[in-house]
Amino acid sequence: MSRRVTSVAVVGRDVSLWLTVVALQSALGRTGLRIHAVDLGSRLSRADVYVALPTLASLHRLLGVDERLVLDACRGVPMVGQRFSNWAKGAPPFMLAYDDEPPPGGRLPFLQYWAKAALEGLRVGLEEFSLGSGCARLNAVPLPVDENAVLSASYGYQLEAQAYAELLKQLALRRGIEIAASPLCGVGITGDTIEGVELADGTRIEADLYVDASGREARLIGGLASAHFESWSEWLPCDRLLAASAPRMPSLPAFSQVSAFHGGWVGLFPLQDRTAVVAAYSSTAAKDSEVADLAGVITRVRISGDAVVSDLGPGARQSPWLGNCVAIGEAAIAPDPIDGVEMQVTQAGISHLVSLFPATAGKSPEASAYNAAIRSFGSNLRDFQAAHYLFNRRYDEAMWDRVRDAAPPPGLARKAGMFRARAIIPMADEETFQEQGWAALLTGCGIVPQGYDPRVDVLPAEAHVEMVQQRLRAVAELARRMPAVDQFIAAEQQMPLQAGA
């Protein structure tokens, strides 16, 4: 006779662990579900940073976490996008900002009208029509406009990693989640089933369901008989990660800065009291010591303190839910650090686990639904990241030449092909970035639409020109009403939007 899941053991560390237990508690705590957290100990260094997309703010609201508290405790800085430099020799940088999708209905996407204008000789890039990019140029934070606004953008965060993990841990403690008092020393496994986890003090925790939030180590799911991890190194070639710090920027920008170099890229992520520096690179193209020196040169900052280097291995688990074990975060999908999606991976796992929380203990069909959703999520995300690498235009550099020659995954080939043919982006199920994000990325990679939806021509020529100019004005006007990053951080509470001119 089947019975309910009454206990869950979450084994992991840092944000994957704490966010998972807090979210499970919030959704299912009242049903009597018992949640055990087994902390493997932090792997974060003082140099680490968490980069989060705008969806983290929604999750915070859902969990009742106050934004001001997060920004203060984690020396956080809001940001509206990321700027990419040197991905093509000689080309100017491009901005990938977090514009919101317009409400459904209405006319064709603005992208279509822009594609026509560009084909007819307009020299103004798509980026100039993005509210997010407009805010980024002014170092401004886009506040919500209203629900039906055609133009709106959202912001994500850059957070001090250790502080954010600690904040979530404290939250878990305050909400009464049981945290194991002793370190993990063993995992009992039979085939694809976890029998229990053993702690150093001799206690054994048995639960109906186990969640692996241990990151790339995959402490639980990695030991199951059918575990299989698929590498994405063909498209995401970086295998080393360096984290360091530089002094605070005198005036805080509203975006992260990501610059390519011969062996990979270096990113600057401004925080309130320092600037986090992250480099991802291929060990075949650059040595650790070389990168530590280069990072400061490329980004023109003074690296202070020690740099911490670790391994990277982008890829995904074929079955992130196997037997009675569900992988969340990097234990399920290990993305490239580009685009700041690490938190997003954790959030997606949590959100699917909650909505597909198994109705009974033991084998249940929710597992294959979870696997299908996470696989789709993972491959769309990989495609987005892969575009940065595959469509690079850094010629005559071995690593970049090699990845440019790789055949793109089918989903990316379809998106890039349709974008080039008609400025259309065919969206799949479980996409992290929506049409505008993809369009910003693909235009940034130098892909120029050769055609557009013929219905665009219904608008007479003058009206079309007027519409394009009007959008440009509207973006500029709205961006000017948004507060600067410094002002936003200094405010005591959520700021209101300034009245229009």
Partner 1 sequence: MDKPLDIVILGGGTAGWMAAAALSALLPAGRRRMRLVESDEIGIVGVGEATLPHIKNFNDSIGIDEADMMRATNATFKLGIHFVDWGFKGSSYIHPFGVHGSAQAGLGFHQQWRRSLDAGRDWDIQDFSFACVAANANRFDFPAVGKSTVNSTYSYAYHFDASLYAQYLRRFVEARGVQRIEGKVRDVEQDPDTGDIRALVLESGERIAGQFFIDCSGFRSLLLAGRFGTGWDDWSKWLPCDRAMPVPTERCGDLTPYTRVIAMNAGWRWRIPLQHRTGNGYVFSSRFIDEDKARAELLNSLGEPLLAEPRMLKFQAGRRVHSWARNCVALGLSSGFLEPLESTSIYLIQIAIMHLLELIPTKGHDQRLVDEFNLRMDLEYERIRDFLILHYHLNSREDTELWRYCAAMDVPDSLRRRIGLFRHSGIVEQYRHGLFTPPSWLSVYLGQGLTPEHYSPLADAAPLNRALKDLDEIREDIRDRVDEMPKHASFVARYAGAPQVDDRHLHEAEVRL
Interface residues with partner 1 (CB under 8 A)?
2, 4-5, 27-33, 354-360, 364-366, 368-369, 372, 414, 417-418, 420-422, 424, 426-429, 451, 453-455, 457-458
Q: Which of 213, 223, 218 minimizes the C-alpha distance to 12?
A: 213
Residue 88's contacts (CB-CB under 8 Å, 6 or more residues apart) are 392, 393, 394, 445, 446
Cα-flanking dihedrals φ and ψ of residue 161, to 5°?
-65, -50
CB of 327 to partner 1, least distance (A): 20
CB of 431 to partner 1, least distance (A): 8
Q: Are 286 and 224 in contact (CB under 8 A)?
A: no
CA distance 181 to 177: 12
Closer CB to partner 1, 183 or 365, in the complex: 365
**Residues 340/256, Cβ–Cβ less than 8 Å:** yes
Least distance in Å: CB of 357 to partner 1? 5
Closer residue to partner 1 (CB): 104 or 202: 104
Shortest distance in whole angstroms from residue 27 CB to partner 1 = 6
- Identity of the residue, 173 or 427, whose beta carbon is nearer to partner 1 in the bound complex: 427
Place of tokens 């509210």: 131
Residue 200: half-sphere exposure toward Cβ, Cα within 13 Å: 8
Residue placing its CB nearer to partner 1 in the complex, 89 or 455: 455
Sort strands 193-199 and 204-205 into parallel, antiparallel or unpaired.
antiparallel
Nearer to partner 1, 138 or 369 (CB): 369
Phi then psi dihedrals of residue 308, to 5 deg: -110, 130
When the beta carbons of 263 and 411 are compared against partner 1, the nearer one is 411
In this structure, what token pair is assigned to residue 476?
Answer: 């500029």
Q: Which CB, 62 or 428, lies closer to partner 1?
A: 428
Comparing CA positions, the residue from 388, 255, 367 lying closest to residue 314 is 388
Q: Which of 423, 401, 425, 399 is nearest to 412 (CA)?
A: 425
User: Between 188 and 365, whose beta carbon lies closer to partner 1?
Assistant: 365
Q: How far is the CB of 92 from partner 1 (least distance, A)?
A: 28
- Which CB, 4 or 68, lies closer to partner 1? 4
Maximum separation of any 2 CA atoms in the chain, in Å: 78
The minimum distance between CB 457 and partner 1, in angstroms, equals: 4
Contact assessment for residue 387 and residue 406, using Cβ atoms and an 8 Å cutoff: no
> HSE-up of 94 (CA within 13 Å, CB side)?
25
Least distance between partner 1 and beta carbon 5 (Å): 7
- Provide the minimum distance between the beta carbon of 112 and partner 1 in the complex, in angstroms, as a whole number: 9
- Considering the complex, what minimum distance in angstroms separates the CB of residue 298 from partner 1? 37
Number of H-type helices and E-type strands within the chain = 14, 22
Residue 100 CB contacts under 8 Å (≥ 6 apart), including other chains: 152, 153, 154
Parallel/antiparallel/unpaired status of strands 34-39 and 178-179: parallel
The CA distance from 189 to 295, in Å, is 44
| CA 143/CA 160 separation, integer angstroms | 23
CB of residue 435 vs partner 1: minimum separation in angstroms?
12
Angstrom distance (rounded) from CA 188 to CA 197: 6
Whether the Cβ atoms of residue 246 and residue 302 lie closer than 8 Å to each other = yes
Q: Kindly tell me which of 181 and 458 has the beta carbon lying closer to partner 1.
A: 458
Least gap, CB of 212 to partner 1 (angstroms) = 20
Q: Write out the two tokens for 39.
A: 């902390």
Q: Would you put residue 435 in left (φ > 0), alpha (ψ -120 to 50) or beta?
A: alpha
